Amino acid sequence: MSYIDEYIKKLREKSIEGLMTEQSRLIKKFNIEYDAELFVFATCMEKNLPESSLSTSDYEVIHDLLQNKSGKKIFFFLETKGGSGEAAKDIAELLHSKFDEVNFLIAGQAMSAGTILALSGDEIYMTETGSLGPIDAQVSIGRAVSSAHGYLKWVDDIRKEAAKNGRLNPFDATMVAQISPGELSQVQNSLQFAINLVKEWLPKYKFKNWRITETSKITVTPEMKQTRAEEIATALTDQSRWNSHGRTLKIKDLNNLRLKIRSVDADQKMSNLVYRIKAINRMLFGTTTAYKIYMTDVHRIQRNATPKGGNISFPQNINLKDTEATKLDIKCSKCNKEHKLYVKFKDNKNIDDMMKHEGLKPFPKNKMIKCSCGDTIDLVGPLSEIETMIGMKAILK
């Protein structure tokens, strides 16, 4: 039986909360087995939300969850589509300030800034399904987000065309007229920032115990470590080599770059735990509105998107400061069925009688709705929004 199959059955038997409890148990087991601290940071790759990119807010959450943690070794389970190189730098520095050894676990994709972050590790452990990607920076150009390397290549191609033909075609001329020197400098700096981080981190961490070459058996010098780091950084930022910013690089690809990766699958105990954690992440992302998960053995924070089509409606002619209850309409994004709920802010039984008479159901204590279509709607996000508006905590029974 596959791990996902197993947890689908557990979801039917228990609940979303049961899966979360199981995930916490797996992290504790990993910590005992490897005498280390396991931190899980996972992003849903399928939910295309601006907030899903790696950002400073992620660093702040990770900093908060690790404020009382330190020790010999941490394994950082990382899955992200990429984002801010500055956030990657902050997270890397935080991890190394608290732990003697920093290792990254890659079971899904750790792209762009995620790859930069992983390259700060003393070791990188990957499953057969895990992958890194090119470390090209992503920059905002007007209303779009673009590859820094691709953008600079486009500018360089236009320069060559102008030098060859003595002029630009009308379309390129219009586009070039919108480029400011400051914008071009920003793109160049963003790309160089990513390269510089990798060139600094690899010799300092990943290569720190590299003393003898595998084939020639000669002593490794600091200059050799720096040269290898520059070769890897150059290769990972070469878009012409990978053809796509979204190209996934598996263990074999990275070994070909002479970047030694440790195999999770070679360790049966580690493999079992890591694949199970990944499977639960997939289940939670697929059945709830969660798009980011942060977990230690004792703490869990989850970012949720407001359900598609959902909206919050307050009773008419009610002063929010005196609100005892409010109504909430949630529409299932899968089948469009509407779920009419109410949330209480004062423990008044008359509210229950009145709301139920109108056909509304009380807000579920587990903050989840199991729709008749089989989809699970996560209500953590909407509840947080309501409590912020009202300025009071909801009473859930």
The pLDDT of residue 246 is above 80: no
Mean pLDDT score, 351-355? 88
Please write the tens of the pLDDT for every residue from 186-229.
Answer: 677 777 888 899 999 999 999 999 999 888 889 999 999 999 99
pLDDT for the residue numbered 310: 44
More confidently predicted of 137 and 364: 364
Compute the distance between CA of residue 71 and CA of residue 68 in angstroms, rounded to an integer. Answer: 10
Beta-carbon neighbour count of residue 29 at 10 Å? 16
Beta-carbon neighbour count of residue 125 at 10 Å? 24
Q: Where are the domains of the chain?
A: 3-133+248-304, 145-185, 311-390
Compute the distance between CA of residue 8 and CA of residue 310 in angstroms, rounded to an integer. Answer: 26
More confidently predicted of 154 and 71: 71
In the block, tokens 């010098």 appear at 221
How sure is the predictor about 287, in pLDDT bands with cuts at 50, 70 and 90? confident
Please write the tens of the pLDDT for every residue from 114-129.
Answer: 999 999 999 999 999 9
Mean pLDDT score, 314-339? 68
Q: What is the CATH number of domain 3-133+248-304?
A: 3.90.226
pTM above 0.85?
no
pLDDT for the residue numbered 3: 75
Contacts for 384 with CB less than 8 Å, ≥ 6 apart? none
pLDDT for the residue numbered 87: 94
pLDDT for the residue numbered 50: 64
The pLDDT of residue 69 is above 90: yes
Q: What would the 3-class secondary structure string for the chain be?
A: CCHHHHHHHHHHHCCHHHHHHHHHHHHHHHHHHHCCEEEEEEECCCCCCHHHCECHHHHHHHHHHCCCCCEEEEEEEEEECCECHHHHHHHHHHHHHHEEEEEEEECCEECCHHHHHHCCCCEEEECCCCEECCCCCEEEECCEEEEHHHHHHHHHHHHHHHHHHCCCCHHHHHHHCCCCHHHHHHHHHHHHHHHHHHHHHHHHHHCCCCCECCCCCCECCHHHHHHHHHHHHHHHCCHHHHCCCCCCECHHHHHHCCCCCEECCCCHHHHHHHHHHHHHHHHHHHHCCEEEEEECCCCEEEEECCCCCCEEECCCCCCHHHCCEEEEEEECCCCCCEEEEEEECCCCHHHHHHHHHCCCEECCCCCEEECCCCCEEECHHHHHHHHHHHCCCCECC
249 exposed, middle or buried (CB, 10 Å; 0-12, 13-18, 19+)? buried
Strand 262-263 to 123-126 pairing: parallel
More confidently predicted of 238 and 337: 337
Mean pLDDT score, 138-158? 66
CA distances in angstroms from 355 to 341, 360, 372, 384, listed in the order given: 9, 5, 22, 21
Q: Encoding tokens for residue 90?
A: 């902050």
Mean pLDDT score, 150-169? 76
Tell me the pLDDT of the chain averaged across its residues. Answer: 83
How sure is the predictor about 266, in pLDDT bands with cuts at 50, 70 and 90? very high
More confidently predicted of 377 and 229: 229
Please write the tens of the pLDDT for every residue from 293-320.
Answer: 999 999 999 887 754 434 444 444 344 4
As a whole-number percent, the residues of the chain with pLDDT over 90 amount to: 44
pLDDT for the residue numbered 260: 93
Mean pLDDT score, 280-291? 84
More confidently predicted of 56 and 311: 56
The pLDDT of residue 104 is above 50: yes
The pLDDT of residue 173 is above 60: yes
